[in-house]
Amino acid sequence: MGRPPPEAGTDEWLRVEVVHPVVEAACHLLQFGTDVQIVAPPEARAEMARVVVKLTGHDGDS
């Protein structure tokens, strides 16, 4: 059994593993804003970065 979740109001992170066969599904995690970090796989990190760049308008297509 793992550690108990952190107490509310602390700065401690809770690690959660989400398994999904489609890398693009990582974009659903955008709803958590800066409170989420994708650590693996690299393809999911790259997809999230691609979407964030597109959303912020910094993709050079202005």
Evaluate if pTM is beyond 0.75: no
> Cα separation of 57 and 51, whole Å?
10
Residue-level pLDDT at 53: 92
- C-alpha distance from residue 14 to each of 1, 17, 37 (Å): 14, 10, 11
Q: How far apart are CA 21 and CA 25, in angstroms?
A: 8
From first to last of its 62 residues, the chain has per-residue pLDDT tens of 566 666 766 777 778 888 888 888 888 888 988 888 888 899 999 999 998 899 888 766 55
Q: Give the pLDDT score at 59.
A: 64
